[in-house]
Amino acid sequence: MTLRAVLATHNRGKVHELGRLLPAIAIAPVDVPVDETGQTFAENALLKAHAAKGAAPAGTWGLGDDSGLEVDALGGDPGVRSARWAGPDDAARNVALLQRLRGARERGAAFVCALAAVSPSGREVVAEGRLVGRIAPEPAGEAGFGYDPVFVPEGEERTLAELGPAYKDRHSHRARAARALGDALRDRSEPRA
């Protein structure tokens, strides 16, 4: 039996990616307002999952994804503000990031993803994943979104946007979080009222 869930997002890239990563869950997007007041990715993912559950039909799980980029030379920024940091769109944020790192010797970074699920009865499940790497000197690649064109995973020479969806489905921060969430949701039993 397929688990039904709604994902609180307006980012179609996340919907498609999570659909591939969590094939046992039928995921539909729901655009609900969420005030991301959490100090961590996990806190924001839970806020989104609760908002999604509130907008979901009966018997449906709520899902929330909060993810972003932590750059060592920037003290962990943009962090939980990654989607709202330094520009109105992905390209502007990538330009701003590269400008702030101009001349920096330290280019280490990590993509972080927290996935949260809230069951129809209110049970919370949170899973996290990380992908360590570095920031490239310039954007490259077309097969990605967000900071993918400027992020080079550890052990690779190409950006995530160059490596493409098949690589991301195996190795990305979201893939790692999705595997952990999928394992946690294997026991989908709901407590009886």
Give the CATH number of the domain where residue 70 resides.
Answer: 3.90.950.10
On whether residue 48 sits in a domain, the answer given is yes
Identify the H or E element spanning 32.
none
Tokens 């039928």: give the residue: 26
On whether residue 56 sits in a domain, the answer given is yes
Our count of domains for the chain comes to 1
Per-residue pLDDT of the chain (193 residues; tens, 9 = 90+): 578 999 998 877 788 889 889 998 999 999 898 988 999 999 999 999 999 999 999 999 999 999 999 999 999 999 999 988 888 899 999 999 999 999 999 999 999 999 999 999 999 999 999 999 999 999 999 988 899 999 999 999 999 999 999 999 999 999 999 999 998 887 655 543 3
pLDDT on residue 139? 96
Q: Is 187 a catalytic residue?
A: no
On whether residue 193 sits in a domain, the answer given is no
pLDDT on residue 178? 96
- DSSP string spanning 63-117? EEEEEEEEEGGGTT-BGGGGGGSSSSSHHHHHHHHHHHTTT-S--EEEEEEEEEE
Q: Structural domain of residue 18, as residue ranges? A: 3-184
On whether residue 192 sits in a domain, the answer given is no
Q: Which residue from 139, 152, 153, 117 is spatially nearest to 42, judged by alpha carbons?
A: 117
On whether residue 190 sits in a domain, the answer given is no
Q: What is the bridge-based pairing of β-strands 25-30 and 3-8?
A: parallel
pLDDT on residue 84? 84
Q: In what order do the strands lie in the sheet with 124-135?
A: 25-30, 3-8, 61-71, 108-118, 124-135, 151-153
Among 31, 35, 66, 148, which one carries the catalytic annotation? 66
On whether residue 191 sits in a domain, the answer given is no
On whether residue 87 sits in a domain, the answer given is yes
pLDDT on residue 12? 77
On whether residue 180 sits in a domain, the answer given is yes
- The dihedral built from the CA positions of residue 51, 52, 55 and 56, taken in this order, carries a sign that is negative
Q: Which residue from 188, 59, 70 is spatially nearest to 135, judged by alpha carbons?
A: 70
